[in-house]
Amino acid sequence: MIRSKLRLGTAVLAAATLGLASCASPDEGGEAAAEDVPGITDTTVTVGTHQPLTGPAAAGYSTISPATKAYFDYVNDNGGVNGRTIEYIVKDDGYNPANTQTAVREMVLQDEVFALVGGLGTPPHSAVLDFVNDNEVPDLFVASGSPTWNQPEDYPYTYGFMVDYPTESRILATYAQEEFPDKTYCFFGQDDDFGEEFQGGLEAVLGEDGLADVQVYSTANTDIAAQISSMKEAGCEVNFLATINGFSAQAVGTAAKLGYFPQWMASSAGGDFNTLSGYLGENTNKLLQGFVSANYLPGYSDTEDEWTAKFSEINEEYNAGAPFDGNTIFGMSIGYLFVEALKEAGETPTRESLLEALESGNVTGNGHAPLGFGDDSHRGYTGAMLTRVDNGVQSYFGTPYVVSGDEVQEYTEERPAMPADGLPE
Amino acid sequence: MSVTKRYAFAAAAAVLLIGLTFVIPSFASYQLATVCAYLCGIAGLTLLTGAGGQLSLGQAALMAAGAYSYALTANTMADAGTEGPLLLLVPLAAAVTGAAVLGLVIGLAAGRLHGPYLAGFTMALVVALPAVTSTFSSVLGGDQGLWITVEKRPASLRGTVSTEAWQAWLAVVCSVLVLTLLANLLHGRFGRHLRAVRDNPVAAALAGIDPARTKVTAFFISSAAAGMGGGLLAYTTQSASPGAYSLVFSLFLLMAAVVGGIGSLAGAVWGAVLLVALPHLISTATSRLELSADLAQRLDGNLAVAVFGLVLIVVVLLAPQGIQGLLDRIGRRLGPTRSVSVPPKSPTSPDSPDSAPSPASSTPTRLSARHEPEQLPATPKGQ
């Protein structure tokens, strides 16, 4: 008995020591922080993010963080921000909230990041929302269209980025009513807040019974033939998609196999042509002809656009010439917005001054619609523009729209001009 | 007497680990809490698979049952306006009960199966989990899972104790409780019945032990322990989602039990620590190496799985009784003069592997550890 207890005791003790050893902070004895702001030294600013580098969402989104990193590297090579270089920690969470918990705790508690930038996904990020706000870590530009991030009262440290689902769904529905009146509208969405919020926005415009058929999928199950067949049988002509890229492609592909070619209208989260073509292969151009989706950032195919040209140049030089697509623009735009906010936060940024910079409204980003940041709003882009695919090229048409409340309006102001060399002034 | 000592030891371990949280950084406290939560699940497997010989691959599903029971209870109570310690204790009790009830139902079916059939059946439970949560997504929240309202640390501790340290305290106390209860069971009459049934069900039945009942009870107890683990995970992560209780995680739990030393609760401790420390050490190591972004991305998440596999192969080849078995062997070689006297009455009896200790006088955990490698595959033979 004594011996067994000794053994258990030894195991517990040794285990504890092992645990301690494994947790020793790697950065002890580093440079003294300026006024002890976590993640800020005289020469560096450390920020972190959680991304799906593996798992079900990886194929659609794993190229975002390399693009953000490329932009930061570009900034660092041009003198950094007020003499500080940006160190960017990327942790893989596999789009699994349980992993996000660990990854974000590690970045906040151990790596002591100054802020989180562009954490991706509604389910993963929801899992750490309380944690980051309890720890008073700026949680900027969450890469998800959920309106959850816009709750300044409850979550003062969290800011959105993407146009939220209720907004883009209203824009898509309004356009559909104008362009395809008297057609049968249907909806295919993800079985979570993404789908629910999007459906809510559509019904706000189309009416409670405006959707003839509503189908949902779960990311764990990649076979969606049953849902698509049901939509086909219901005679759906215009199908709204609240799907991540992989499932947008799956929906279009499955429908084509069934000989069913409706008008697709996708959320910006699942409407990037290059990413979709990665799934659809050689028939992409035929399958995606006329595919409409919302977007708000510079279009990657729009070579006339100064932002696109600059980002493309940075991509060549700092991202090893990786395929240039919507994800690249997205990642770099998040990087740009953070650098803009950090510059605005002053010579010696603190977490408070960073948030004040965002609330001031002086941080404008590079979208076709304006950002909603202010005292009482942490909403990201407040509107969107529509894109259509024609002969394998996805490009913008019409004017941008902004949404406030249920009202969809055309937005006529000019997009902020790009500062010299794409570096915020 | 020995039970009193066990309680004293448990209390000492709890105090020591809680004291540790004052010294270590908060991330390490979070890891400690995770270790304790995993430990509950692994210790349950130690009893079920190690001492009972029933191979279960479904421990994660039972932990999930605990986590979802916690989530549903806590959210219902919070909606009803409950606050304070009740909002912590009742959901934890619900987690244990929920998993135990599920374990009982599974056990009734699984009691009729053995070997690969039982393994397949329990594996199906884990595989079915995402389908179950999607099908009942209005209640269980689908893939996204449930967001849990938790009772945070008492106001009096705010400022002095971090959230993570508080979570670690709770997890330490609960897991020590679970381990003590399991140790009592394994050292008592139930433990003897369990091993008798495992080693030879026919002989056990002739001796008046009901094999079916013993097996079902083992499932029930193991599930209750897993439920506590799931409840603790639900509390620390504030969420219950199917992704957290995947098949891979379930296999990792069994692997941790085997690598640590199946059949001994000390082995379960090793296993739980490895399960948390190994991925962390690996990612720390790779982040320090200057790897190309592409390679780092490939290694991230995958390397830990590969290393786990390697560790498992090495352990099974070189130390089939796991880390704890290896340590015991080293201990015995290093100190041959330190004759470990097990029964107080005969202090001179050497602790040789050939001695056949009577259940009352030996440490049953070690007994099972020694018998495990030969006995586990042999179990079906007896049926």
Tens-place pLDDT, residues A277-287? 888 988 888 89
For B266, the closest of A8, A109, A130 (CB atoms) is: A8
- Tokens 């404008």 found at: A364
For B147, the closest of A18, A66, A126 (CB atoms) is: A126
Query: For residue A7, which residues of chain B lie inside 8 Å, CB to CB?
Result: 264, 266, 324, 327-328
- What is the pTM for the complete model shown? 0.79
Give B379's pLDDT tier (boundaries 50, 70, 90).
very low
Query: For residue A218, which residues of chain B lie inside 8 Å, CB to CB?
Result: 130, 134, 137, 142-143
Interface test with A, best of B18, B239, B252, B342 (most A CBs within 10 A): B239
Which of A111-120, A241-250, B142-151, B188-197 is predicted least confidently? B142-151
| Contact across the interface for B284 and A94, Cβ inside 8 Å | no
Query: For residue B131, which residues of chain A lie inside 8 Å, CB to CB?
Result: 220-221
Closest to B40 measured CA to CA, from B180, B146, B235, B153: B180
Question: How far away is chain B from the Cα of A409, in angstroms, using its nearest Cα?
Answer: 33
Give me the pLDDT at residue B342, please: 40
- The pair phi, psi for residue B97, each rounded to 5°, is -65, -45
- The pair phi, psi for residue A115, each rounded to 5°, is -155, 160
Q: Which helix (H) or strand (E) holds B225?
A: helix B211-237
| Contact across the interface for B130 and A96, Cβ inside 8 Å | no
Is the pLDDT at B335 greater than 50, yes or no? Answer: yes
Mean residue pLDDT across chain B: 83
Question: How far away is chain A from the Cα of B54, in angstroms, using its nearest Cα?
Answer: 24
The answer to whether A2-163+301-381 and A165-295 have equal CATH topology is yes
Query: For residue B297, which residues of chain A lie inside 8 Å, CB to CB?
Result: 53, 62, 92
Give me the pLDDT at residue B351, please: 42
Q: Which helix (H) or strand (E) holds A242?
A: strand A238-242
Which of A75-84, A214-223, B116-125, B350-359 is predicted least confidently? B350-359
Give me the pLDDT at residue A55, please: 77
Give me the pLDDT at residue A184, please: 93
Query: For residue A22, which residues of chain B lie inside 8 Å, CB to CB?
Result: 31, 277, 280-281, 284
Which of A242-246, B19-23, B48-52, B293-297 is predicted least confidently? B293-297
For A105, the closest of B27, B145, B366 (CB atoms) is: B27
Give me the pLDDT at residue B220, please: 95
Compute and round to an integer the Cα radius of gyration of chain B. Answer: 21
| Contact across the interface for B241 and A97, Cβ inside 8 Å | yes
- Tokens 């769904």 found at: A169
For A9, the closest of B9, B276, B293 (CB atoms) is: B9
| Contact across the interface for B277 and A130, Cβ inside 8 Å | no
Closest chain B CA to residue A11: B266
Query: For residue A126, which residues of chain B lie inside 8 Å, CB to CB?
Result: 144, 147, 239
Q: Which two tokens stand for residue A300?
A: 């990657």
Domain boundaries defined on chain A: 2-163+301-381, 165-295
Q: Which two tokens stand for residue A367?
A: 């979208």
Task: Write out residues in chain A with pLDDT < 70, as ranges.
Answer: 1-35
Query: For residue A112, which residues of chain B lie inside 8 Å, CB to CB?
Result: none
For A193, the closest of B32, B144, B281 (CB atoms) is: B144
Q: Taking the mean position of all CA atoms in its chain, how far away is CA A329?
A: 11
Query: For residue B363, which residues of chain A lie inside 8 Å, CB to CB?
Result: 1, 3-4
Closest to A404 measured CA to CA, from A155, A177, A164, A161: A164
- Would strands B146-147 and A115-117 be described as parallel, antiparallel, or unpaired? unpaired
Closest chain B CA to residue A6: B9
How deeply is B341 buried, as exposed, middle or buried, from its count of CB atoms within 10 A (0-12, 13-18, 19+)? middle
Are residues B68 and B142 in contact, defined by beta-carbon separation less than 8 angstroms? no
3-state class of A408 per DSSP?
A: strand
Query: DSSP for A264-280?
Result: EEE-GGG--HHHHHHHH
Query: For residue A102, which residues of chain B lie inside 8 Å, CB to CB?
Result: 30, 34
- ipTM here: 0.72
Please compute the mean of the pLDDT values over residues B114-143 and round it to a whole number: 87
Query: For residue A4, which residues of chain B lie inside 8 Å, CB to CB?
Result: 266, 363, 365-366
Closest chain B CA to residue A193: B144
Is the pLDDT at B369 greater than 80, yes or no? Answer: no
Closest to A316 measured CA to CA, from A51, A67, A61: A67
Are residues B34 and B236 in contact, defined by beta-carbon separation less than 8 angstroms? yes
Question: How far away is chain A from the Cα of B94, in angstroms, using its nearest Cα?
Answer: 21
For B25, the closest of A5, A92, A109 (CB atoms) is: A109
Please compute the mean of the pLDDT values over residues B131-149 and round it to a whole number: 84
How deeply is B184 buried, as exposed, middle or buried, from its count of CB atoms within 10 A (0-12, 13-18, 19+)? middle
Closest to B226 measured CA to CA, from B354, B90, B43, B14: B43
Query: For residue B183, which residues of chain A lie inside 8 Å, CB to CB?
Result: 8
Give me the pLDDT at residue A141, please: 94
For A92, the closest of B16, B147, B300 (CB atoms) is: B300
Question: How far away is chain A from the Cα of B243, in angstroms, using its nearest Cα?
Answer: 6
Give B373's pLDDT tier (boundaries 50, 70, 90).
very low
For A11, the closest of B243, B269, B284 (CB atoms) is: B269
Question: How far away is chain B from the Cα of A107, in angstroms, using its nearest Cα?
Answer: 9
- The pair phi, psi for residue A319, each rounded to 5°, is -120, 25
Is the pLDDT at B376 greater than 50, yes or no? Answer: no
Question: How far away is chain B from the Cα of A399, in angstroms, using its nearest Cα?
Answer: 35
CA dihedral A270, A274, A276, A281 (to 10 degrees): 180
Closest to A184 measured CA to CA, from A211, A207, A209, A206: A211
For A4, the closest of B20, B243, B365 (CB atoms) is: B365
Is the pLDDT at B64 greater than 50, yes or no? Answer: yes
Please compute the mean of the pLDDT values over residues B182-201 and round it to a whole number: 93
Give me the pLDDT at residue A417, please: 87
Are residues A365 and A340 in contact, defined by beta-carbon separation less than 8 angstroms? yes
| Contact across the interface for B6 and A109, Cβ inside 8 Å | no
The Cα B343–Cα B330 span in angstroms is: 22
| Contact across the interface for A191 and B32, Cβ inside 8 Å | no
For A106, the closest of B27, B238, B244 (CB atoms) is: B27
A165-295 CATH, one of 3.90.950.10, 3.30.70.270, 3.50.50.60, 3.40.50.2300: 3.40.50.2300
* A2-163+301-381 CATH: 3.40.50.2300
| Contact across the interface for B163 and A22, Cβ inside 8 Å | no
Question: How far away is chain A from the Cα of B300, in angstroms, using its nearest Cα?
Answer: 7
| Contact across the interface for A11 and B130, Cβ inside 8 Å | no
| Contact across the interface for B130 and A220, Cβ inside 8 Å | yes
Query: For residue B142, which residues of chain A lie inside 8 Å, CB to CB?
Result: 191-192, 218
Question: How far away is chain A from the Cα of B179, in angstroms, using its nearest Cα?
Answer: 10
Size of chain A in residues: 425
Task: Return the higher-pLDDT residue of B78 and B375.
Answer: B78
Interface test with A, best of B126, B178, B297 (most A CBs within 10 A): B297
Give me the pLDDT at residue A246, please: 87
Query: For residue A5, which residues of chain B lie inside 8 Å, CB to CB?
Result: 5-6, 9
Give B101's pLDDT tier (boundaries 50, 70, 90).
very high
Query: DSSP for B153-176?
Result: S-GGGTTTS-HHHHHHHHHHHHHH
| Contact across the interface for A123 and B26, Cβ inside 8 Å | no
Query: For residue A16, which residues of chain B lie inside 8 Å, CB to CB?
Result: 16-17, 20, 32
Closest chain B CA to residue A126: B147
Give me the pLDDT at residue A213, please: 94
For B269, the closest of A3, A12, A92 (CB atoms) is: A12
Give B360's pLDDT tier (boundaries 50, 70, 90).
very low
